[in-house]
Structure 1
Amino acid sequence: MYNMRNISTWLSISLELSMLWPCVISMNFVNIPTQEMKLANHVRVKRGWSWEPLYVIEEQEVKNPIYVGQLKTDSDGHDGSIKYVLFGEGAGTIFVMNENTGRISVLQKLDREEKPFYTLRAQAINRVTNVPVEAESEFVIKVLDVNDNEPKFNNEPYIAEVSEMSPKGTRVTQVIATDKDDPTHGNNARLVYSILQGQPQFSIEIKSGIIRVASQIDRETKDQYQVIVQVKDMIGDAGALSSTTTVKINVLDVNDNAPKFSLNTYEMTIIESSTVGEFVGAVLADDIDIGHNAEMIYSIDERGDYSMFNITTDALTQEGIITLNKLVDFESRRRYNIRVRAENKYNTALFDTATVRISVSNVDEPPVFLEKEYFMEIPESATVGSYVGSVTAKDPDGTDIMIRYGILHKKYSRPFEIHPNNGSIFTIKSLDREADIWHNITVSATEAKTAAYVSYVHVYIRVMDVNDNSPQLQNLPDIYVCEKSRIGQHVHTITAKDKDEPKLSHPFSFSQPPEESTSANFTITDNEDNTATILTAQDGYSSEDNPLFYLTVIINDNGTPSLSSTSTLTIKVCDCGIDNNTESCGKRGFLFYFLNSGAVIAISVFILLILVLALLVHIRCRKNQNSLNEKGEDLKENIVKYDDEGGGEEDTEAFDITGLRHHTVMRERKPKRPLRTDIQSMYRLSLGLGPDVAIFKEFLSEKLEEANADTNVLPLDYLHCYALEGTGSPTGSLSSLSLTETNVSEADLYY
């Protein structure tokens, strides 16, 4: 193999040399004579360089200098008077020149991929005069390529997809390789592709590397292929170098398979005490398609005992859940037969059927949970009725006994409920992670036949956080700004907090409403570390003109979706003194700033008005009291006392109330009026023991006539005004009305 590679390499070099040999470059350069030459000979002599093509084969092991080529000038008479000098890239280290003959040799191994050519300069000098006989000339030594680099694939690893049942020739993907060798030199960099593994399902285009489907593929037979692709240089000839790569091709599913029951006949058991709607059993049809293509719907054919049971499709497990539709009785009937049907959800032509035999029996064994404890998670944003997880308990005897699930309803388990038939836990209340992160509940599994057989298992439910709390300002003290503040001066730094987890809500951003940012007295600068700085937006503030400012702050979190809150800050203007320090502002209190605003004058005026009003009221009251004392008219009132509870009508006594006046006026006692013994009291009348209606009417008429004839008693519809508290009272009159004015006549008092 190694000899064949060397032979191929030397053949390529020989071919290249034979192609380039006729292209020997002869260059004539104009020799610029020196001043001495012009003096010696006034005739310009045309000189010229000539040399062989200069090439070096890469990767040659150099033990002794290897001849590359020769430079010579037509001025050289071969008498030893000309000295050749070499300059440029690698001169003296990689390349050397014989100063007598101009022969150039290489001293070390070269690599074309590192440097494909070298640019050098040569000069011919007269040994005696040390004057150049030829102008300095530039030439190139080219490094010839050999096939010493294997091709490499780009963009590895390769992963592609193709749908099953794709027609032949369908493009799958393309692999691309590159070769560092010289693409212009022979076939060293000409690549060809081939498949070492993956046929006959796939093929590859030899030049482009495009992989195509070569035969029909079935995902249900094989859903992934490892295709090994090889690339060779030198168009695959002898001595070519190669490399391989693996292309992983995933086969995508199409809906081309019908559901298939694992059994033709299913045996199930139900206890006779089961209620309508209880779980009977589950059937499962397998669809070898995947994803949506494997979804199916279950139904019961209308034959046999189909009306005794219902079947529904569990969207999570794709099982057919059979429930009881009518009550069963073990003594009446012990076996039922139904035919269930499973058909593809999106193609009803794809279906399968099976027979279900349901036996009625009793088993008195406690259920056993499949796991010792359960761990579940649910986001706090889950709506009421959201599915959390399922627990499963089986009968240890291996019989299909109906099992009921329940939750021991303690305080911490109230947000959850469990489906009594299939053990599915779902929410019945909204969750809040900030209130409770973990919920520990105890689930019971009870045999439907015998409630005494109960098993318990602990279920730990973790509430996952969502961004449902808006950020709020934190630790907000009184904020002051000095009257002598300048624009852009720091006022206060505010911070925010959020009940949500930091990874959901941080960082916060602070801003002002657009309508306030254009004409604001203060500005907010977001520090991008969950804090913001309040800066002044004007020069100077006045506590007399405007002692308070209100600044609206909008805080947004970084959650999805983003939540925000709006807070209004109160900034108080303070006379910070000579040192312009706000530390003393809080000690003065708010009353200091309020009084500074001119409120002292308003308070003083208000107090003065109250004093004047009180003085006027006092003078008015004294005047009314004096007028009443000077008037000699008696104001009297009768107090009628009925004292007939014990039987019999007692005389009514009139009491003189002149003693309530400051100046007592004696009143003549009136003769005692005769009493009517035939008139009973109102209490007796209420008991139905009173006189006749005619007698009572006569009594009222007499009283009315007597009242009309008495001129010393005020009319009943007259406004009675009591101007005095009573004899000896220091308070005086409490009434705002006065009947003792001198312009009130005696007739007016009665009428």
Structure 2
Amino acid sequence: GGAARAGQESRCSRAAAGSCAGPGPVRYSVPEEAKAGTVVGRLAQDLGLEAGEPEARRLRLVAQGRRASVEVSGASGALVVSSRLDREELCGKSAPCALRLEVLVERPLRVFHVELEVTDINDNAPVFPAARKNLSVSENSPAGSRFPLEGASDADVGANAQLSYSLSPSEHFALDLQKTEEEGESLFLVLRKPLDRETMPIHRLVLTASDGGRPLLTGTVELMISVLDANDNTPQFNQSVYKVRLPENSERGTIVFRVTATDLDEGTNRNVSYSLLNLFPQDERDVFGINRDSGEIRLRGDLDFEDVGVYRLQVDATDQGNPPLTGHCKVVVEVLDVNDNAPEVWVTSLSVPVPEDAAVGTVVALLSVSDRDSGANGRVRCSVWPAAPFGLVSTFAGSYSLVLREALDRERVSEYEVEVRAEDGGAPPLRASRGLRVPVSDVNDNAPAFAQAVYTVLARENNAAGAELARLWARDPDEAGNGRVSYSVSEGGGGASVSGGGWRPASSYVSVDAESGRLWALQPLDYEELQVLQFEVRAVDAGEPALCGNATVQLFVLDENDNAPALLPPAGGGPGVGASGSAASGSVVAKIRAVDADSGYNAWLRYELWEPRGKGPFRVGLYSGEVSTARALEEADGPRQRLVIVVRDHGEPARSATATLSVSLVEGAEAALAAAGSSGVGLRPAEGGASAESTTTTTTTTNVWLVVAICAVSSLFLLAVVLYGAARWAPRAAVLSSPGPATLVCASEVGSWSYSQRQSRSLCVADGVGKSDLMVFSPNFPPPPGPAAKETQPDAPALLQTVSGAPFLPPSFPRFSSLPPTTLAPCCSFSSPSHGAGGGVIPAQPLATESGGCWAGA
């Protein structure tokens, strides 16, 4: 038992008998939960009863309205615990806890008041209202948020009921106990760190309440803190960037990729829908599309690696929270190249035309070659066709220079069509080409060149002033100004010596049109004054510097029959001729002398006895002009004869002169005296042209003439034989173009040698003719300078021709004069084309003779 404490403020007197009512109650204290039988106090003793008296007086305890947990022992009169004392049951939270008891004592009946204080022991642990406390905290609650908690209760009182609280360790929560006079104690759960439902959706904490008793008793409550989901998590992809490769020839509808996003939130906060955004390229084309629910990306448009090689897509995953949150990822679609593009060739720079004197290595064009494909499909090989004269040089990747590999010649090729070919490395390879037109610009590298080094021009005399003699043409293969040729007669380049002495420049006779090259006559030409005019024509181009070429022109003046024969006075100047009456047949009586200023056929004279006609006693040599007796003179012929002799040339039309000769018949002695007294023939004007009366010459004069003629003819014949041999075996060009001695050509009485339109000319000696004349041809032109031209221009004037590579120069026919008879030359024939008034062309072929020989220049 516990120790009883009796406090008796007043006691009954021990001497008194019967009941006694003390002045105050007897107080005892006993701890609660004392065991039954525990003596609380010596009630009888404290009441003043003697031993045995309590039993005798029947001491008993009367509870006031409640069950008494104590009783009075009858034998000892002690107050003992009879049943369990529970202060909390008896008094609750009241303090102090006092039980008011009444003790009755009989004999006499007396009533004593007893107060039993039940003292508290720490027999009650703190108790929370529930063993588990459920709390809901939003995960987006900020740190410092306070959540009130219901504290524990302790049935004890005093220090045993003084509670303290503690919380199980937590980084997110803490306790805060506030005590105020008005509100008392307030317990709060404080949020120290924001919550994350996705990391820990439920926090389990233990709240412990401890009292202040000895021993310490505690009570606990489990705090179940559920973190309420807030839409604080965006949908997440397992990769931030997805890379996909797709061939550019993929068909529409092809599945490109499938993305998946997760949301750590719950409920509607985790429901995700997908959308697609083109980051690159930023155009309006919808090449790709996405399924909103499944995240499946499909190809909607056509891919072209050359247009876009990489697509950057942004996929958005949006939840259904409030507010909704969106997660992002990127999908990089790499388009794989397919060889679907041929190479392309561009001309970035073209430097044309190219001068023909451009150096090897000159850059003609800059080219750019590319292929929109990649890898081997985009590697391009280039070549140039034709391979010459250009080539390709690679400067750097995709760039080439078209350079000159060989020297150019515009006159050979004036323009090139160049093709640059490109081929890629795909399988199969694709090809492309680019054509270039490369013109070659001219450089003045060609001097004007005449078709012939020497031109032979034939012009008839008495031509009209301003008549076109020939047309010269110099070829210059250059173009434009470099090939524009102007012509001029070279100053100091030639001239001619005129008859009568003196020198006149060629520019006084001819002129060349500067543009057309036409050769004009400045004045009428006179063969008797000028036979050959040699000069140089200069052709100069308009290049810079100017180049020039020269050609020699030999102008041969062709004789026209514009001069009538002129009779020469007789050698002795006598009035007449005497003839012996006994002169035999064939005796030479006189000789008619005449000259013709023309040449060739026009100067070839023939003599005809015009009167008397019939069988007269006299005759005239056809070409010698000798008057001789045709038969023996007779007296019947009369003492005096008048002869009319006509001298004609062979021109067309022929011109003539008339000579009148008086012949007197005398005796032999008188004839001798007449011969000694006069040595010529007197001439006087006569009808039909120039006429004269001639006196007879002596036989001595005739013989002298015959001797002189024979000697001259013999010398000329020997010279002709030598020239014939030289012409026969010497080179043809040299024979044709070089000056030489006289060439002998024969003529017959019956032949007709004149310039006419006939195609064939023949000069022969008739059989049986007793006499003939010797005609002397003396070419008097200088040799042509320089080598003969080798190139012939097809459209050159017809009157300019060359012979075996060298120009043929026709001979200049001298004037003919009658000479004494001599030995005849062989018969020759030749052919020549017809010619007009402006000139002619002498053929190049040598003249064949019946005896196997020929004379050049015939």
| TM-score bracket, shorter-length normalisation | 0.3 to 0.5
TM-score (norm 1): 0.36
TM-score of the two chains, using structure 2 as the length reference: 0.32
Higher relative contact order (CA 8 A, sep 6+): 2
Q: Identify, as 1 or 2, the structure richer in strand.
A: 2
Choose between structure 1 and 2: higher helix proportion: 1
For the pair shown, which has the larger CA radius of gyration, 1 or 2?
2
